[in-house]
Chains A and B, each alone.
Chain A
Amino acid sequence: MVDVAFQPNRVAGAKSARKRSSLKTALKRKSTAAFLMTLPLILLITILVLYPAIYSLHLATLNKSMQRFIGLGNFEFLFKRDTFWLVVKQSCIFAITAVVFKALIGFIVAHFVHNIPAKGQRKWRGMLLVPWVIPPAMSTLAWLWLFDPSYSAFNYTLSFFGIGPIPWTGDANWARFSVILVNIWYGAPFFMIMYLASLKSVPDQLYEAAAIDGANWWQRIWYVTLPMMRNIIAITTLFSLIVTFANFDIVRILTAGGPLDHTHIFATWAFRIGIEGSDIPLGASVSLFIVPILAVAAIFILRDVNKRGNEA
């Protein structure tokens, strides 16, 4: 429609092209204007996102002083190191556990918020989203203080129940638990908000129909809610999986990878090697291991976009 409305203008522009400067006409054309409007975006994405992404592939093939091409040497070196496999394991444990619990808690809490009268929902939602609003670096500091070995407020509270002091960040397994706990605390509200939004979009008639058919609460969730929320669940989980897999702030501040590299994930280890240890090529190779999860996400999203295109 817009194109049609614009046609006469364009023809007129072409006619008067010889009279006025052709630059002016070119600027008036729709595609030129559109191109100019998107140019900053294209430049930004190309120079600061795509180029660095490809550049990191190049960096990963250089030796430490970045003067010699060593092919896959960095990766060979990584595969031989135990720490690397520890990081791979920890990254997977961290991301998968955290995302599963975030999704579960988000789903449950969203249901509870959806259950109560609409009047009070805003208030509860507001309170429950607070962890997501506080910058993660700041809130992780507060967690670090709660986990402090000698003044831990958690241990103080637990001591009343006769549970001995827990080395929250001192012991490898407890440290793993702690970073995951902090990540769940930070990320669950995001799931809650997403699921709440999609719960509200499920038409009430469906639940009424299910109730008439004698469905119990479990069947209502399984046959009505979950199928209706499938898209949101998939997108949110995928998105969160990427973010959690690439997480940096929480692990860096809480444990800095310790004790003995047991809580390092790809991002923090890449930082340790690449920036602190100034072995940029090796650091780049480590951070490249975030790409597979990205690729999976990209495939899913592209498939979804194509499907939408066919429907439209």
Chain B
Amino acid sequence: MASTAIINKAAPTRAVKYGSMSRDRKWALRWSYFFLTLFAIFSLVKPLYMLITSLKSSAEISAATNPWWVFHPTLENYIGLLTSNQFLRFFWNSALVSIFVVTITMLISVPAAFALARMRFWGSATLATGVFLTYLIPDSLLFIPLFKMFAVFGDWTGIQLINRWYVLLIIYPTLTVPFCTWIMIGYFASIPKELDEAAIIDGASWFQTLTRIFIPVALPGLIAATIFAFTVSWAQFLYPLVFTTSNDQLVLPVGIITSLIKGDVFNWGQIMTGALLGAAPPLIIYAFLMDYYIAGLTAGATKG
């Protein structure tokens, strides 16, 4: 208290003494806005350009008029894609995969995080570190051995998993579970111990402590982890490219690239429409739940 009082007293005197401070500050502010606008243009030009192109007819695109403006806006690309069974199939596959993966991820990582955060057992500290290290292992290291593993598994058991969309349900959790567990450990560890002690004294079992105390209290963390799991499984490109090939098994990112690009003919209007529709679910989630999104993003590093 004493220190803040001193600082508050000191601040006005300094401002009076150096009258130029406020002018400097104003200029700094102007420069900040100038550069921020520049960077905002740099980062938003892409989605806007996607939107512009998606509203053009292919005739207008090939006419090579000003690419930054739509002269005859049309929805034909949207109508074309949203009535094409193939595109809807990709969308459906993507949605199905993402929803299942989110569910699986939560079912695995929440109990595990609870156990690692609260119940100390043999090897729990090592396991927590191991979880974080697993998160760092990139998909591009694992796709070849995984592909071979599933091929061998298919030969042994006769259960063919390659080129089925549900193989992604087995593989995606390797990307989502470690990170979700890691941020849930962080959130669970920040809950005061008194809360679960009180619950245990009242006769709650471990399971009840988890569902009645930990999950409600750590709900923001849970939402952040869910968003992360969803965006990762929606955006994943390498695994579906490796594991699925036939048209009815593809998810959106791969589907757009393999089916809309036919040889050298690029139907850019449709490709951009597809890309925009593919980017829409994460963008919508982001627009509404930005704070959770950012909390999940920063939790990974600040708690690491």
Contacts and interface: CB of A to CB of B under 8 A. Distances in A.
Interface of A: 1-3, 5-6, 30-31, 33-35, 37-38, 40-42, 44-45, 48-53, 55-56, 59, 105, 108-109, 112-113, 115-116, 122, 124-131, 133-139, 141-143, 145-146, 148, 150-151, 153, 156-157, 185, 188-190, 193-194, 197-198, 205, 208, 211-212, 232, 235-236, 239, 242-243, 245-249, 252-253, 266-267, 270-271, 274-275, 280, 283-284, 287-288, 290-291, 294, 297-298, 301-302, 305, 309
Given A53-B142, A271-B242, A1 B257 contact: no
A34 B275 contact: no
B75 interface: no
Given A109-B39, A301-B132, A280 B137 contact: no
B169 to A, nearest CB: 12
A145 B32 contact: no
B145 A59 contact: yes
Contacts of B290: 122, 126, 129
Contacts of B170: 48
List the 3 closest pairs (A to B, CB-CB), nearest first.
A246-B138, A135-B235, A267-B140
Interface centre among B42, B132, B140 (most CB of A within 10 A): B140
B146 A52 contact: yes
B279 A139 contact: yes
Given A6-B200, A138-B253, 10 more contacts: A41-B131, A128-B36, A133-B286, A135-B282, A235-B304, A239-B301, A267-B238, A271-B241, A271-B242, A280-B148
Contacts of A190: 297
Given A48-B174, A116-B36, A248-B237, A270 B140 contact: yes
Interface in B30-71: 31-33, 35-36, 39-40, 42-44, 46-47, 49-50, 53, 61-62, 64, 66-68
Contacts of B156: none
A191 to B, nearest CB: 10
B129 interface: yes
Contact of B130 (A45, A125, A193, A270): A45
- Interface SS of B by simple majority: helix
A140 B32 CA distance: 29
B219 interface: no
Interface string B289-304: 0100110011011101
B82 interface: no
Contacts, number: 308
A151 B61 contact: yes
B193 A1 contact: yes
A287 B144 contact: yes
Contact of A294 (B29, B137, B253): B137
Given A131-B46, A141-B275, A232-B302, A266 B140 contact: yes
Given A38-B115, A55-B148, A134-B279, A44 B238 contact: no
15 contacts: A2-B119, A44-B173, A53-B142, A59-B145, A105-B39, A137-B254, A138-B278, A153-B68, A211-B14, A245-B138, A271-B143, A287-B140, A290-B138, A298-B133, A302-B129
Nearest to A9: B200
A287 B141 contact: yes
A125 B297 CA distance: 13
B118 to A, nearest CB: 7
B234 A135 contact: yes
Contact of B197 (A5, A37, A189): A5
Contacts of B178: 45, 49
B173 A48 contact: yes
Contact of B144 (A2, A138, A148, A280): A280
A287 B148 CA distance: 14
A281 to B, nearest CB: 9
A133 B231 CA distance: 8
Contact of B301 (A131, A236, A288): A236
B137 A49 contact: yes
A122 B131 CA distance: 32
Contacts of B39: 105, 109, 112, 128
B22 interface: no
A30 B206 contact: yes
Nearest to A297: B136
A270 B145 CA distance: 11
Nearest to B65: A156
B268 A148 contact: yes
A30 B170 CA distance: 29
B140 A242 contact: no
